[in-house]
Every structure is written in C-alpha cells, then in structure tokens.
C-alpha cells in the first residue's frame, strides 16, 4: 500500500491526457493507499472537476499569480510545498518537456531522488520501482529510488488504462508561500504547433522520411492523421531537407515518442531514429526496400512504394473508421 501524489499538467483549462494514465496507474499501485492529484496554475478554473472519476481521492489545487507561466523556481517551490504538506510515499508526473524540468527541481528541494523517463512502474521488493530504457532502447533497467518520497517521471502513453475505481475527488486549495522574484521572467509564450496534437503525447503517429521528397508531399499524411486523430512526425533527413519542421523530428536529437501506433513511411530505421520511437507499441513500416533496417523492428511491414501504399491505406482507414 502506498500514498501516491500525481502532478497533473493543465493546458487550455483542462488536465492533459497524461493525467488519466498516471492517475489510473497510481490507483492500481496505491493498492488502497491515497491517490492525490496536484494541479498548479494561476487560474485553474474547473480543471479539477472529474478527476475523482479518474481515480483521485483528493485533488490539490495550487493557484498563485506567480504560476501563470512556467517559471521553474516558482513551480518547483509550489510543488515541493504541496508534496511536503501531503507527505506521499511516491510522486508521479509525465516525462513531458515541463515534467522533465520540474520534477527534478521539486525533488531536489525535498532532497529526494528521481527516476526519470520511466516506461513502466510496478511494486518491487523495496516499494514501487520503475523501468527505464537505456542505450537508445536496447536495454531495460529496473530502478528503485531510496528516498522519501520517491519521484518517477513517466514517458507519455506508457500505460493502457482500463476501468479505474473512482476516488472521492475532494478538491482542496493549497496556498503556496512563493517569492516575488525567482530571477526569471516569461516574456512571451509562442506555440509552434497551434492546435496540432503534441507528438510526445500522441497515441498514433505517421512519420515520413527523406523519401517524401518535398514539403507538399508530407500533405499525404494529413488525411490519415486526421482520420486516426494522430500526429505527423519526420526523420531528421526530412527535417534537414526542409520537408518538415524540427518540432516534428523523432529521434535521438528530436522527440522521444511512445504511441500505441507508429507508422514509419519511407524511413530507413537508422539507430538515431529508432532511439525516438522504438518503444512504440505497434510499429508499421512502409518501405520499398525489403532489406531496410526498420523492418527488423516493425510489428507489420509493407514492402512497397509509399506513394502507392499511403493512398490505399488512407482509403481503408476511412472505411474502417467511418463504420
């Protein structure tokens, strides 16, 4: 039994999808212990509503003007204070851009340890332990944290959550004691993706490589991505050639993704690309070279010209998904 606090990110007045999977997993691991959701922001509105149904017994809202934008010092102070007040055994958060920065900072303030970017969690001999992928996914390490609390950041889409036992979802306000100045001011936030689904949180991704040959040809992926509710990614070769933006790059020097479905169209499967998508649950490779390395990692392989295969696949998706 463990008391678990889940840091839930809020965007556009709603908790992000990662909160659902983390709360569901927390409920399973808590095994009768308390599951607490913790939300930070300057105006959280009704973002706390409905978190009980996702498994939260308690929801802590930390609202403060200093939390309007992500200011690391302020957010780390607020989160660590809420954790100290709640005294959980375990703290979970998404290994998102924000989570990867915030959780270690909050842990440092509490002199606690963090296992970052885990892809699984389980009950071990010394309490909850995590799985981390090493050497670009070639090895898996089991990590335990010896501090109290134990912090884990979890790669988005690591867990498939079924029915979750609902918690009470009681909402409590926590007043953080924050300073006026943390030596850091957010002047402007510019979103590069508009309302495009964030690659790191997408459950379905179609990525294209150098073989797409132009920016216009990447448009081939718009319709299937829309039909599947997915995001579009790219190899570095495609980004370097100007066919896609850097925010779409998957791999060692791009984003690490973990979707349920990853379609790699015209991507060779270089080690640096695999580093960003190897943990995808189902990998579909489309490549005209039957010996392309990507096929060694694919769940399903289609040997063929992507310019012929993609329209057929899109037509089939339209049929299946409109039924």
254 part of the interface to ligand FAD, by CB under 6 A = yes
Of the ranges 21-29, 78-86, 90-98, 272-280, which one interacts with ligand FAD (CB under 6 A)?
A: 272-280
Pairing, β 300-303 against β 231-234:
unpaired
Pairing, β 14-15 against β 10-11:
antiparallel
Length of the chain: 323
Smallest gap, in angstroms, from Cβ of residue 133 to ligand FAD?
15
Interface residue with ligand FAD among 209, 224, 230, 259 (CB under 6 A) is 209
- CB nearer to ligand FAD: pick between 24 and 276: 276
Report 167-206 residues binding ligand FAD (CB under 6 A): none
Q: What is the DSSP string of 16-70?
A: -HHHHHHHHHHHHHHTTS-EEEEEEES--TTTTTTTTTTT-SEEEEEE-GGGSS-
Strands (E) located in 95-230: 114-124, 127-134, 139-144, 150-154, 170-173, 204-208
287 part of the interface to ligand FAD, by CB under 6 A = yes
314 part of the interface to ligand FAD, by CB under 6 A = no
211 part of the interface to ligand FAD, by CB under 6 A = yes
Instruction: Answer for the pair 62, 78: CB distance below 8 angstroms, yes or no.
Output: yes
Of the ranges 66-74, 89-97, 123-131, 246-254, which one interacts with ligand FAD (CB under 6 A)?
A: 246-254
Interface residue with ligand FAD among 27, 64, 273, 278 (CB under 6 A) is 273
Interface residue with ligand FAD among 247, 281, 288, 317 (CB under 6 A) is 288
Instruction: Answer for the pair 59, 39: CB distance below 8 angstroms, yes or no.
Output: yes
Instruction: Answer for the pair 108, 77: CB distance below 8 angstroms, yes or no.
Output: no
Q: Which residues bind ligand FAD (CB under 6 A)?
A: 209-211, 235-238, 249-254, 266-268, 270, 272-273, 276, 286-289, 292, 305-307
């Amino acid at each position: 039994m463990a008391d678990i606090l889940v840091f839930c990110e809020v965007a556009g007045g709603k908790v992000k999808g990662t909160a659902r999977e983390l709360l569901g997993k927390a409920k399973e691991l808590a095994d009768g212990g308390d599951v607490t959701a913790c939300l930070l922001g300057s105006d959280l509105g009704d973002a706390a509503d409905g978190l009980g149904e996702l498994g939260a017994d308690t929801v802590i809202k930390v609202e403060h003007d200093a939390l309007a934008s992500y200011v690391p010092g302020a957010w780390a102070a607020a989160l660590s204070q809420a954790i100290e007040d709640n005294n959980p055994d375990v703290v979970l958060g998404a290994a998102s851009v924000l989570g990867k920065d915030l959780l270690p900072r909050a842990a440092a303030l509490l002199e606690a340890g963090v296992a970052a970017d885990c892809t699984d969690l389980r009950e071990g001999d010394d309490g909850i332990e995590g799985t981390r992928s090493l050497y670009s996914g070639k090895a898996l390490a089991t990590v335990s944290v010896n501090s109290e609390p134990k912090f884990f950041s979890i790669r988005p889409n690591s867990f498939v959550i079924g029915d979750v036992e609902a918690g009470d979802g009681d909402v409590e306000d926590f007043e953080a004691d924050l300073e006026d100045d943390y030596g850091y001011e957010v002047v402007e936030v510019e979103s590069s993706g508009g309302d495009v689904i964030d690659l790191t949180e997408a459950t379905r991704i179609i990525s294209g490589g150098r073989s797409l040959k132009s920016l216009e040809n990447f448009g081939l992926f718009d319709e299937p991505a829309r039909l599947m509710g997915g995001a579009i990614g790219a190899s570095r070769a495609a980004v370097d050639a100007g066919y896609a933006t850097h925010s779409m790059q998957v791999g060692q020097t791009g984003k690490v993704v973990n979707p349920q479905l990853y379609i790699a169209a015209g991507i060779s499967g270089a080690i640096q690309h695999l580093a960003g998508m190897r943990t995808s649950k189902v990998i579909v490779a489309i490549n005209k070279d039957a010996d392309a390395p990507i096929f060694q990692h694919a769940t399903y392989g289609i040997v063929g010209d992507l310019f012929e295969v993609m329209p057929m696949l899109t037509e089939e998706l339209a049929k299946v998904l409109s039924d």
